[in-house]
A and B are shown apart, each in its own frame.
Chain A
Amino acid sequence: MNLEVSLGKLKLKNPVMTASGTFGYGEEYAEFVDLNRLGAVVVKGLSLLPKEGNPTPRIVETSSGMLNAIGLQNIGIERFIREKIPFLMQFNTPVIVNFFGDTREEYILAAEQLSCVDGIHGLEMNISCPNKQAGWSIFGTDPKVTHDVVSSVRKKTDLTLIVKLSPNVTDIALMAKAAEDAGADALSLINTITGMAIDIQTRKPKLANIRGGLSGPAIKPIAVRMVYEVKQAVKIPVVGLGGIMNADDAVEFMIAGATAVAVGTANFINPMATIEILDGLAAYMKLHEIENIASLTGTMHAPGEAGCA
């Protein structure tokens, strides 16, 4: 049985990755998960300088999901390299660093700094952040801006570059195409969906930031649909994420078109979720006599077409 998949230059032992922001810097979960078993570890999003994050409340539970407005709190690239990389280097699992910036220049500088460090194997570019230079509009909601920032970063790094797409757009395939044309090696989707919740007794927003990002099983059907649409539009591999709680969910994403999957909110509920999903994938392959997991990607049967037994 072969669980290996490829994302750009990266060969993954298996398709199970962690979603940025839900697995800390890896060490938080090392007590529960043998990091050697994971396809890749995607760490909490980093910026050039440390970021304090938003006031509280930062999270609120909603129906089958949660809203978060952490505000991209992180220790900054320099401290990450000094304090967290040595720990991650003990494992023979690719480390993918999620990063973001407030301006195009910050993205470029961040990518440059992250690209000359041992122990970082890939970059995931978060383009769901506001662009300080363009009236705080989101980098990832305008295909021209997306193309511009991704191609600028592409010129500065030889690492596998994954662009993480925002679902808060009308046509995600358009954004995917822009990122592919700009030189992305792979795409990951979806990031959280913007939402909000209000306390009806106090009439105050439940998050201090008012808006937050919705994650968890509540968003899974939207994520599956977007992975399907994106896969129709691009040739590069897609990492599917959004509400994956178990192996069945992971398989669904792969059938829709994902080459790999990332487990996010599920880590908060079950710290061993990634490993259970990996074991479940192997069980699914055995049951369906699948030799190569890569052969599962994008195999949805059209309605009317004969399906699998």
Chain B
Amino acid sequence: MSRYFTSRVKENIPLNSDHNLLTLSLPDGAEEPLPGQFYMIEVNRGNDPLLKRAFSLFRRTSDGFQLLYRIKGRGTSLLREMKKESTLEVLGPLGCHYPVPSKEQVPFVIAGGIGIASVFPFLHAQKGRALVFYGARSGGEIFMLDELRAMSSEVYISTDDGSRGTKGNIVDLLDRYFADKKMDISRYVLYACGPHPMLKAVSRVAASRRITAYISMEEYMACGLGACLGCVVKTKTGYKRVCKEGPVFNSAEIEW
């Protein structure tokens, strides 16, 4: 079964003024997506906009998959207009997945804003073992909180405006959590997805506490297949492609 296929819109539900949950069909025999992987999605027919858009897998359903996306520009605005039963071309699943933690390790998930979409299937797979630190601009942008609580051992929330959870930055909250607990944290592994400055901060925390952080990176992308070399990030061993070697990288690899 090809990783390039036609999918049917099963649902495309607005969650607030600029976030939607899209459910797409998955043909029989389609490659099974893993947490952290992504899809390239057609947002319109015709040449403008030209390129497909990359979205992380949010959830695998019984007969399809879901994408949680933020309406940010023309492409995602067009995607929001997609009606139930319309069809679109899909390429995926693409890229690498989050490494599976060993039994001894304690996974810490850090999500910033729409970054929750990428870590959500990872949390699901962890079956309650993981702790979650989830930050957003405001309470209206915190999604799926009940499910997150059900899937995680502890959930910590922060918002920039303080309308939900702790006021402030989610990585500061994480760092304070580590500082307060005077325990051995060598078993902890961080898994993060969010804006670039947040990932940089997570990387700093991981380095200072000498623990591993896996981060999911984002870059402008054209093909999703490693051919265009558009979506590279600078690493200690040269440029690497977000779509192929990534999107998940060990944060110690990245040249910040």
A interface list, Cβ under 8 A from B:
21-24, 28-29, 31-32, 44, 52-53, 55-61, 63-66, 68, 70, 73, 216-217, 245, 265, 267-272
Contacts and interface: CB of A to CB of B under 8 A. Distances in A.
B232 to A, nearest CB: 6
Given A29-B227, A217-B50, 18 more contacts: A21-B228, A28-B226, A44-B229, A57-B220, A58-B229, A59-B221, A61-B50, A61-B51, A64-B50, A65-B50, A68-B222, A68-B228, A216-B50, A268-B51, A270-B89, A271-B4, A271-B91, A272-B4
A24 B220 CA distance: 18
A59 B227 contact: no
B28 interface: no
A37 to B, nearest CB: 15
Contacts of B131: none
B72 to A, nearest CB: 13
B211 interface: no
Contacts of A24: 225-227
A56 B219 contact: yes
Contacts, number: 93
Contacts of A23: 227
Interface of B: 2-4, 47-52, 89, 91, 219-223, 225-234, 238-239
A22 B225 contact: no
A32 B227 contact: no
A58 B230 contact: yes
B220 A70 contact: no
A268 B229 contact: no
Contacts of A64: 47-48, 50
A217 B47 CA distance: 7
29 contacts: A23-B227, A28-B223, A31-B3, A52-B239, A53-B229, A56-B219, A57-B219, A59-B221, A59-B228, A59-B230, A60-B220, A61-B50, A65-B50, A68-B222, A68-B228, A68-B230, A70-B230, A73-B232, A73-B239, A217-B47, A265-B50, A265-B222, A268-B51, A268-B222, A268-B228, A270-B89, A271-B223, A271-B225, A272-B4
A32 B91 CA distance: 11
Contacts of B52: 269
A77 to B, nearest CB: 17
A70 B222 CA distance: 12
